[in-house]
Structure 1
Amino acid sequence: MSEQLKVALIGNPNTGKSTLFNDLTGLNQKVGNFPGVTVDKKTGNAKLPNGHSVEIIDLPGIYSLYAKSRDEQIAFEVLYDRKGKLRPDLVIVVADASNLKRNLLLYTQVADLNIPVILVLNMIDVAESNGLKIDINKLSNKLGIRVVAVNARQNKGVDELKQAIADATRVATQLRTIKVEELAPELIGEISEKFAVSSPYEALQLAHQHENLSSLSSEQSDLIESLEQKHSFHSSSNQAKETVARYNFINDLLFDCVKQDESAAGETFSNRIDKVLTHRFFGLIIFVLILFLVFQSIFTFAEYPMSFIETLFLDIEQGLAKILPDGVFTNLLINGVVAGLSGVLVFLPQIVILFFFISVLEDTGYMARVTFMMDKLMRKVGLNGKSVVPLISGVACAVPAIMATRTIESWKDRVITILVTPLMSCSARLPVYTLLISLVVPETKVLGFLSLQGLALLSMYLIGFFAAIGAAWVMKRIVRSRERGYFIMELPIYRMPRWSHIGLQMYEKAKTFVTEAGKVIIAVSVILWVLSTYGPSDSMKAIDTKYETLAKTTSNNAKLLEQEKSAEKLEASYAGILGRTIEPVIKPLGYDWKIGIALITSFAAREVFVGTMATIYSVEGEGDDLVSVRQKLASAKNPETGLPVFTVATAFSLMLFYAFAMQCVSTIAIVYRETKSIKWPLIQLTYMTVLAYVASLIAFQLLK
């Protein structure tokens, strides 16, 4: 091979294509965007037995080359555009061996494009357990290609696949599956004459998809359109004829190559479980119980590692205070950087536990059932069934969830889904929720085993979900659409989770949280320390003079005077001035000016709230009084009333504010990128801010 071979992986969703990609490439992967679009592209390098390296391209999962969304459109564009940098020399079609009839439809389409193909039968163990006996050699001979059976989850058959790639040529060997010319002979003939196509099926695909292909000029597209009118070509009816012809071919093929062992036939294990887990009534109850167990575990299992991290940072702060000389740098390091960072890292165990459970639910196949069950509810509020996937993904992070809306064909349904997805409580809200709940909700049990704190946390997530559903219902009546959406989803079989895969997911999420959120938090903490430490020189000098006089003329406790001085300096600082400026607006919500500062700084990222409160109370407190952020906030008193700052009314008002407010610059940026308009992010920011303010106001006024 004179140049590196390009190999594209293509297949239906849930066929194990991404797992096979990971098996082939290992850690040699990178994620980017396909040229000119925001669709994610995964590429990697695989080492072959002959020593050569090939580039593997993981194409979006699709059921057919006839695209209904931009993600699906990309797959055909990559296969068609011979001048494109990603045009593959070889295509690996990944099929679910236990469901060949449906999976082979895509294979027949790709094969007829006249690109060299290898067929991979994944999940061969599942097919065998279902009593299916596939004659690999006969299937290979009838198709004229190499067929490889693999079990990607267990990395079986991958070496044989690598050898098949090494043996592959750049010349297509597969036999044609159907007589494409018979579908539209005159049109295919004329397009083949005027365009450099490699097969009759490529000419037919141009007739179907020319309007969406960016590699075609407007003149070329207009020419194809005129040829369609000339020959009275109707795309939808032609696709129907083609599909019937392809399934006739597939039925004959499977009759010869696949046999069913009747003794092993019967209801599958997954179907028996689904009768319970996807039951129209009990299924939803089970889902809510699973959610409760997840949130209960977040409090129960995370308590010990959180206490360890709190103690560790207190030791670090005390150690630094002892070895470093008093001064601005020491103050910045301890009360700015370390205090801000510890206020967030202490919640890392909870983030890890949340993603552990999400990964387990996804890997076992249960999360797919959740989306299936929620489809009916989505339709009742007027959303597309495919909106379920972004909403469920929003529990982890709104950014990838909003990107997942690309599979929704209806533009209006997609926009509404984008607008409501950030209302789902993401992992960034978790530190805020758990901190405030731990302050005002007692660690008591309901009915002897239900944790009150776990129930409170579950309620915050349910509030976000129902808010998203309600907002979608309202928007659907404002933004009307005649387009009808549909929801097609392949339910994977239930499998034991892959613990190595889950461990890798937890590591990646924890790493992202620490590196991405950590950078923002440290930067904000340093800026906040400066704003909280310094203020107008006249005011600061006046406070210093006042307390120097008091120290000489009164017998008050020196430590008490120092604390009063710190509190006055914080209020006179630039941060204090900013907080006092917005205090009249937020006071009806139960917030003081310190909380107001946190609301402003956490606009960069919600997690910053905790670090901000830690920094503010570190600056205000005595230098040698180093306590954890939870203790600092629990002991904070309102100077006017003498009551705790964080009462039940204030805490729940604040949680509702964070549940509904758009406190995330990254989400605003991704909404702008996905909608290509500043209008939608502004609408989203406005309605979420108003909703947050009104909900918080009502909650505080009712609970105070």
Structure 2
Amino acid sequence: MSEAALPMRLALVGSPNCGKTALFNQLTGGRQKVANYAGVTVERKEGRFSTPSGRNYLLLDLPGAYSLDAASPDEIITRKVCLGEFPGESVPDLIVCVADATNLRLHLRFVLEVRKLGRPMVLALNMSDAARRRGIRIDVDKLQARLGIPVVETVAVRHGGAAELTRCLEGEVRAVAVAEDSTDLHVQVRELIAEAVSMPRRTAEIDDAIDRIVLHPALGLVLLAAIMFLIFQAVFSWAEPLMEAIEIGIAHLGTWVGSALTSMPMLQSLVVDGIFAGIGSVLVFLPQILILFLFILALEESGYLPRAAFLLDRLMLGAGLTGRSFIPLLSSFACAIPGIMATRSIQDPRDRLTTILIAPLMTCSARLPVYALLIAAFIPQRTVAGVFNLQGVVLFSLYVAGIVSALAVAWVIKLLRKDKSEHALLMELPSYRVPHVRDIAIGLWERANIFLKRVGGIILSLTIILWFLSTFPAPPAGATEPAINYSFAGQLGHLLHLVFAPLGFNWQICIALVPGLAAREVAVSSLATVYALSGHEEGLQAIVASQWTLAMALSLLAWYVFAPMCLSTLATVRRETNSWRQVWIMAAYLFALAYVASLLTYQIARVVGS
């Protein structure tokens, strides 16, 4: 292939949350390849696209960076690739620097750093539509003249939103000549904004007025606690009608399908006692998970989450962390895996490792089905102080227990560290904005899609496997106990019961803990399958309420506050730390915490209840 026919290499750079990856997806579509850079765990994403004239491009989506003065693993990769210093990576022919048009005060500093490299460069002002809606006016011609590089506007989330960028790439983009300038970066940004950007005064005044409350050392913390409390109240109160509808629908469908399979008892057992009992018991919690993410997405879209990180910085410093750990830990409420991966933005390697080690203590959405099942079975649905839902109060308490435990573990790690240095959090806060219904709807659809794929994939597979292990071998002639007692699963459950009996766990719970290592919510479907095969025809919640003691339920709740994470999380920790030692440390300390907490909870509850 001649040199002229080779695709032009573009590097896409930008600070986190500028929409860089959305622009990458807009340009490349499905022609993408994802891997890790050689020798490190940072993700490498590469794609191809063509312009209308037929020119071909190879696009590399570099990790987000706040500065080329590299401190975090992500920023080191971005700097080295841009300079052509990373082994195995060719120097890019052109750098496309993406900046959030609604927050140029923050993003222009990084643009000026990239410009100093002297490489051919284009600036893409992303989210330009959002900037216009908020009254921000950007004089693109003045900005282009002042920077000496092409400047285009993009809307990465809209079809055709990168058209102006592709038109720019059709022309010739030369290397920028950068004169030596001793002026502070911050000063240059202020001059650029004063000359080329018109900011609505009213927007700044409103932001300042809200921040006087939101960032107040006392009122801000009270507001944050109130918001979190409201979220968990809504998880139970709003979701109940939808959960009942799903439960009734699944029950009717299971009965109808089961009646059609009466001539095939083994298949009927698999479908009714295995698939419908197991999958249905998990699927019913989808409304609660979506309500939780409705609030998280709305807070993220509004610009509140960075302020919460700033507000909690002092508290987290006491535990040996900074507010930078807040976003990864908050992400872990969805799942520990993206939370652990988000720690790449933490500059200090010790802070990053501590955040990785405590991320699984955040109450991920996979725990929610277990919590909701036990709370609904043992906590009466009544109001407290005439306002609050008691079940929501208990759920809120479980989330708080996870957070407090994470901070306590981080504090212990801080005591064990030889380096006692603390790093202040410096961050620029975005303007407040009203969340867009479309963006939140897309986020909820993605979350529902992920949950349903788990239900139809790993949970369905494990449910079928558990049904097989709970059905075979068949009981011997003259057996008097339920058939499941003689099965592989029954034998395993009775063996594990020797270890977990002090915690109050029965052998059915012991069986459910094993597939729960693959995904925590599988514990609920496993319990439903085991009880269905034991001859119980009631729903799982009714079985738990009638056959378990309150001490057993509280013990299992305590177990899942600290429970060792799923296997995929352990694999992520191995990849991110490049160390099996950290994996074993994490698994060991979480198992020890879970066992001790569950043991104390059960024994104390027995004494108090007797």
* TM-score > 0.5 by shorter chain: yes
Equivalent-residue separation in structure 1 for 2:513 and 2:118 (angstroms): 59
Aligned ranges 1:495-514 → 2 under 5 Å: 495-514=433-452
CA distance in structure 2 between the partners assigned to 1:15 and 1:497 by the alignment: 16
Work out whether residues 178 and 249 of structure 1, in 8 Å CA contact, stay in contact via their aligned partners in 2. no
Q: Distance in 2 between matches of 1:260 and 1:501?
A: 26
1:15–1:460 Cα change, 3 Å: same
Contact 1:177/1:246 (8 A) holds in 2: no
Indicate conservation of the 8 Å contact 1:657/1:692, yes or no: yes
State whether residues 178 and 246 of structure 1, in contact with CA within 8 Å, keep that contact through their aligned partners in structure 2: no
- Equivalent in the alignment of 2:93: 89
* Cα distance between partner residues in 2 of 1:29 and 1:295: 39
SS for the counterpart of 2:119 is coil
Q: Paired residue for 2:502, among 575, 588, 591?
A: 588
* Residue of structure 2 equivalent to 1:359: 297
- Structure 1 position 141 matched with structure 2 position 145: yes
What does residue 368 of structure 1 align with? 306
Q: Match for residue 317 of structure 1? A: 254
Trace 1:567-582 onto structure 2 (pairs within 5 A): 567-582=481-496
Give the aligned residue type for 1:612.
Answer: S
Q: Is the 8 A contact 2:512 2:526 kept in 1?
A: yes
Would the aligned equivalents of 2:258 and 2:271 in 1 still touch at CA under 8 Å?
no
Shift, 1:377, TM fit: 0.8
**For residue 358 of structure 2, what is the aligned residue in structure 1?**
420
CA distance in 1, matches of 2:415, 2:373: 37
Per-residue deviation, residues 230-288 of structure 1 (Å, max 9, x unmatched): xxxxxxxxxxxx6x465676666667x44768x94784322221111222111111112
Within 5 A, what are the aligned runs for 1:205-604?
244=183, 257-258=195-196, 264=201, 267-324=204-261, 325-516=263-454, 518-535=456-473, 540-543=476-479, 567-604=481-518
Indicate if the aligned counterparts of 2:74 and 2:344 stay in contact, CA closer than 8 A.
yes
Give the equivalent residue in structure 1 for 2:70: 67
Closer, same or farther: CA 367–265 of 1 in aligned 2, 3 Å: closer
1:616 aligns with 2:552: no
Question: C-alpha distance in 2, partners of 1:164/1:377?
Answer: 47
**1:100 CA drift (Å):** 4.8
Deviation digits for residues 16-50 of structure 1, max 9, x if unmatched? 43454455556666654344432234445556454
Q: What is the aligned counterpart of 2:177 among 171, 175, 194?
A: 175
Aligned match for 1:629, one of 534, 540, 543: 540
Q: Which amino acid aligns with 1:137?
A: D
Q: How many angstroms does 1:466 deviate by? A: 0.2
**Cα distance in 1 for residues equivalent to 2:103 and 2:453:** 42
SS at structure 1 position matched to 2:235: helix
Aligned length: 601
Q: 1:448 and 1:136, CA in 2 relative to 1: closer, same or farther beyond 3 A?
A: same
**Secondary structure of 2:517's partner?**
coil
Q: CA deviation at 1:631?
A: 3.0
Match of 2:167 in 1: 163
Q: Deviations over 1:314-353 (max 9, x none)?
A: 2232122221223323222221223221121121222222
* Distance (whole Å) between structure 2 residues aligned to residue 418 and residue 499 of structure 1: 33
Q: Hey, what's the Cα distance between the residues in 2 that align with 1:28 and 1:361?
A: 33
- Larger deviation, residues 147-156 vs 353-362: 147-156
Q: Which amino acid aligns with 1:671?
A: V
The one-letter code sitting in structure 1 at the alignment partner of 2:404 is F
Contact kept, 8 Å, 2:142 with 2:196, in 1: the verdict is: no
Identify if the C-alpha distance between structure 1 residues 167 and 528 changes in structure 2 by more than 3 Å, giving closer, same or farther.
same
**Alpha-carbon displacement from aligned partner over 1:44-63 (angstroms, at most 9, x marks no partner):** 55564546564443322223
DSSP-derived class of the 1:654 partner: helix
Quick one: distance in 1 between partners of 2:159 and 2:272?
Answer: 49
Rounded to whole Å, the distance in 2 between the matches of 1:27 and 1:507 is 20
Residues 366, 153 of structure 1: CA spacing in aligned structure 2 closer, same or farther, 3 A cutoff?
Answer: farther
Question: What is residue 658 of structure 1 aligned with on the other side?
Answer: 560
Q: What is the CA distance between 1:176 and its match in structure 2?
A: 1.4
User: CA contact under 8 A between 2:32 and 2:45: conserved in structure 1?
Assistant: yes
C-alpha RMSD of matched pairs (Å): 3.0
Shift in Å, 1:85: 4.9
Shift of 1:618: 0.8
| Residue equivalent to 2:601 | 699
Residue in structure 2 matched with residue 234 of structure 1 by the alignment:
none
How far has the Cα of 1:165 moved from its partner? 2.2
The change in CA–CA distance for 1:31 and 1:448 in structure 2 (over 3 A counts) is farther
In 2: Cα distance, 1:501 partner to 1:27 partner: 21
From the superposition, tell whether residues 268 and 96 of structure 1 become closer, same or farther in structure 2 (CA, over 3 Å): farther
Aligned with 2:482: secondary structure?
helix
Q: Tell me how far apart the structure 2 counterparts of residues 132 and 177 of structure 1 sit (CA, whole Å).
A: 30
Q: Which amino acid aligns with 1:64?
A: S
Matches within 5 A, 1:667-686: 667-686=569-588
What is the SS of the residue equivalent to 1:344?
A: helix
The answer (yes or no) to whether the contact 2:18–2:126 under 8 Å persists in 1 is yes
- 8 Å CA contact 2:320–2:422 kept in 1: the answer is no
Measured after TM superposition, the shift of residue 471 of structure 1 is: 0.9
Report if aligned partners of 2:237, 2:389 keep a CA contact under 8 Å in 1: no
- Cα shift at 1:425: 0.6
- Would the alpha carbon gap of residues 611 and 57 (structure 1) be closer, same or farther in structure 2, given more than 3 Å must change? same
Secondary structure of residue in 2 paired with 1:114: coil
Distance 2:568 2:222 in 1: 34
Name the stretch that deviates more: 94-103 or 484-493. 94-103
Query: Deviations 1:612-635 (Å, cap 9, x if unpaired)?
Result: 11101110116xx4x433233334
Change (3 A) 1:89 1:630: same
Q: Deviations over 1:288-324 (max 9, x none)?
A: 2211222222212222232222222222321222212
The answer as to whether partners of 1:177 and 1:249 remain within 8 angstroms in 2 is no
What is the CA–CA distance in structure 2 between the aligned matches of 1:316 and 1:587, rounded to whole Å?
A: 37
Structure 1: which 5+ residue stretches go unaligned?
180-241, 544-564, 638-644
Tell me if the contact between 1:143 and 1:175 (Cα under 8 Å) persists in the aligned partners: no
Distance in 2 of aligned mates of 1:475 and 1:452: 35
- Are the structure 2 counterparts of residues 96 and 673 from structure 1 closer, same or farther at C-alpha, using a change threshold of 3 Å? closer
- Residue 238 of structure 1: aligned partner: none
Q: Which residue among 108, 112, 117 is the counterpart of 1:113?
A: 117
Measure the CA separation in 2 of the matches of 1:279 and 1:251: 27
- SS of corresponding position for 1:396: coil
Deviation for aligned residue 1:438: 0.4
Match of 1:64, SS state, is coil
CA contact (8 A) 1:410 1:483 kept: no
Structure with the greater alpha carbon radius of gyration: 1
Q: Given the superposition, is the C-alpha separation of residues 320 and 529 from structure 1 closer, same or farther in structure 2, using an over 3 Å criterion?
A: same
Structure-1 residue corresponding to 2:20: 17
Change (3 A) 1:267 1:318: closer
1:607 equivalenced with 2:521 (yes/no): yes
Show CA shifts across 1:419-475 (max 9, x none). 111111100100000011000011101122210111111111000000000111112
Q: Distance in 2 between matches of 1:465 and 1:311?
A: 35
AA partner of residue 246 (structure 2): I
- Percent of aligned pairs sharing the same letter: 40
Contact 1:405/1:418 (<8 A) preserved: yes
Whole-angstrom distance in 2 between the partners of 1:424 and 1:321: 40
